[in-house]
Amino acid sequence: MLDIKFIRENSDLVKNAVKVKKLESTVDIDEILKLDRNYAEILKRVEDHRGLKNELSNTISKLTGEEKEKLISEATGVKNELGILEAKLKELRIKLNEMLLWVPNPPATDVPVGNGEEDNIVVRKEGRTPTFDFKVSDHLDLGIINTGRGAKIGGFRGYFLKNDGVELEKALLNYATDFIRSKGFDFFTVPWTVKPQYLVGTGYFPWGEEDHYKNQDGMVLIGTAEVSLTSYYAGEVLEEKDLPIKLAGISPCFRREVGSYGKDTRGIFRVHQFTKVEQVVLLPEGEELSREWHEKMLGHAEELLKNLELPYQILLMCSADMGAGQRKKYDIETWFPFQNKYRETHSDSYFLDFQSRRLNIKYRNSNGKLRYVSTLNNTVVATPRLLATVLENYQQKDGSVKVPKVLQKYIGKKVIKAVSN
């Protein structure tokens, strides 16, 4: 959420953010400013009426007789008018707060303006894509993943992992856990169902509400541990000396994939349920500090991929292909030999105080003043998508799959034998 004062003073910047993020149909900044002016006018009248009411009350206490009765009648009229104005003020405040939830975070100055994924910029490529002296198999053809029975039981985009597939996924997640803990992160399991207010707080609602599952109690299934981790200190005041706070968590993630009809219908690129290790950092205010940590968190994901010896590329996301709340976003795309292309496996973003204002997470600085923290997040590992790229990059001619060196101690073997599909 943006401060209304910031919107007043930077209306052109905010209007441009709405435009370049393609959100014109969801919010009207001029209407917000009009409502804000109306609110300020009624607030002034409320304050004037409260002052007059107090003044009349003090005067009445000193009078008697007819003069007192006359002022009591006047005070009653003022009180009634005040009640009407206060009700109107409350109504406007609620409406203004609802509209402010739809205002996006302006992109950083180095974010390219674009209309979609075709306008994202490749920052660099890392690693050498493998060459094979045999016909490359799709990850589905290696006998580790079963989407046919997955769809039978769990519906479209359902899947099963079996035996070595399960062990390889566990190895990836366990390695990711040990890796991110070695970087000084506190590690958590997190609530998988959360109150809707925390999806609002992290900026997934109101924009992405239709892409989330809800249960009969009105709770929402998370699409990422970011929601629970970022909300951990909601409504609290931290101390600057304790920042940065580095949180990591593991959770299943649930996404309806609304709007993705016809996309990635084969394989496990776009599924309704997956498991992810996520990293979240809370910082003192300041864009340069957030940018520094944005690169550092990107570095964590890159180091992990290099240790897995997987080729990848870094994308700087354009304005229309990033979330409403994100100030700047990198995607990491890892190489999939069968598709002969890079596919997204990580997403690295910073928000400044956009999320913390919504969640009311503050810190007390060295001068004793309260400020909102800045928030960042990035993927550590998400499976089964990263599992799929390991299978494809490490496949052998006989259908077996080599286990990456860093995972061998977790799975207890160097090669996964070929399995008939």
* CB-CB contact of 312 with 250 (8 Å): no
pLDDT for 51 equals 82
Q: Identify whether residues 390 and 273 lie together within a single domain.
A: yes
Contacts 24+ apart (CB under 8 A), 291-296: 291/108, 291/328, 291/350, 293/244, 293/350, 293/376, 294/328, 294/330, 294/348, 294/349, 294/350, 294/376
| Domain end residue (candidates: 74, 100, 126) | 100
407 C-beta neighbours (distance < 10 Å), count: 22
Rounded to whole angstroms, the Cα distance separating 391 from 410 reads 16
Catalytic entry in 157, 327, 357, 385: 385
Q: How many domains does the chain have?
A: 2
Choose the catalytic residue: 347, 349, 356, 374. Answer: 347
Question: What whole-number distance in Å separates Cα of residue 166 and Cα of residue 170?
Answer: 6
Q: Are residues 48 and 154 in the same domain?
A: no
In a domain, 112, yes or no: no
Instruction: Please give the Cα distance from 318 to 336 (Å, whole number).
Output: 23
- 227/330 same-domain check: yes
- Domain contains 106: no
Is residue 288 annotated as a catalytic residue, yes or no?
A: no
Q: Please tell me the predicted confidence (pLDDT) of residue 27.
A: 96
- Three-state DSSP at 49 gives helix
Q: Does residue 69 lie within any of the structural domains?
A: yes
In the set 270, 285, 309, 400, the catalytic residue is 270
pLDDT tens per residue across all 421 residues of the chain? 899 999 999 999 999 999 999 999 999 999 999 999 999 999 998 888 788 777 777 777 776 677 777 877 777 887 888 889 999 999 999 999 999 999 999 999 999 999 999 999 999 999 999 999 999 998 888 888 888 888 898 888 889 998 999 999 999 999 999 999 999 999 999 999 999 999 999 999 999 999 999 999 999 999 999 999 999 999 999 999 999 999 999 999 999 987 666 677 777 878 989 999 999 999 999 999 999 999 999 999 999 999 999 999 999 999 999 999 999 999 999 999 999 999 999 999 999 999 999 999 999 999 999 999 999 999 999 999 999 999 999 999 999 999 999 999 999 999 999 876 5
72 and 128 share one domain: no
pLDDT at 421: 58
Q: Is residue 178 part of a domain?
A: yes
Active site residue 260: no
26 and 163 belong to one structural domain = no
User: For residue 252, what is the domain's CATH number?
Assistant: 3.30.930.10
Q: Is 270 a catalytic residue?
A: yes
Alpha carbons 271 and 31: distance in angstroms, whole number: 39
Residue at 110 is within a domain = no
Residues 230 and 309 in one domain: yes
- Active-site annotation holder among 81, 126, 257, 344: 344
The answer on 75 and 147 residing in a single domain is no
Among residues 169, 226, 255, 356, the one annotated as catalytic is 255
Q: pTM for this structure?
A: 0.92
Domain around 216: 117-416
347 is catalytic: yes
Residue 67: give its domain's CATH number. Answer: 1.10.287.40
Do 75 and 138 have their domain in common?
no
Which of 100, 126, 158 marks a domain boundary?
100
Q: Please give the C-alpha separations between residue 27 and each of 30, 185, 206, 324, 421, in angstroms, as whole numbers.
A: 9, 37, 11, 12, 50
Q: What's the sign of the alpha-carbon dihedral 236, 238, 244, 246?
A: negative
Nearest-angstrom CA–CA distance, 407 and 171: 6
Beta-strand runs (E) in 62-195: 121-126, 145-146, 160-161, 186-189, 193-194
**Domain identity same for 95 and 124:** no
| Phi and psi angles of residue 299, each rounded to the nearest 5 degrees, phi first | -60, -35
Q: Which residues pair with 153 in a beta bridge?
A: none
Spell out the residues 6+ positions from residue 95 whose beta carbon is closer than 8 angstroms to its own.
35
Is position 109 within any domain?
no
HSE, CB side, 13 Å, CA atoms: give it for residue 150: 18
End position of a domain, from candidates 71, 100, 129: 100
Residue 88 shares a structural domain with residue 213 = no
Q: Is 33 exposed, middle or buried (0-12, 13-18, 19+ CB in 10 A)?
A: middle
- 88 and 160 in a single domain? The answer is no
Backbone dihedral angles phi then psi of residue 271, each to the nearest 5 degrees? -125, 165
Concerning whether 181 is annotated as a catalytic residue, the answer is no
For residue 337, give the nearest of 286, 296, 389 by alpha carbon.
389
Are 79 and 145 within one domain? no
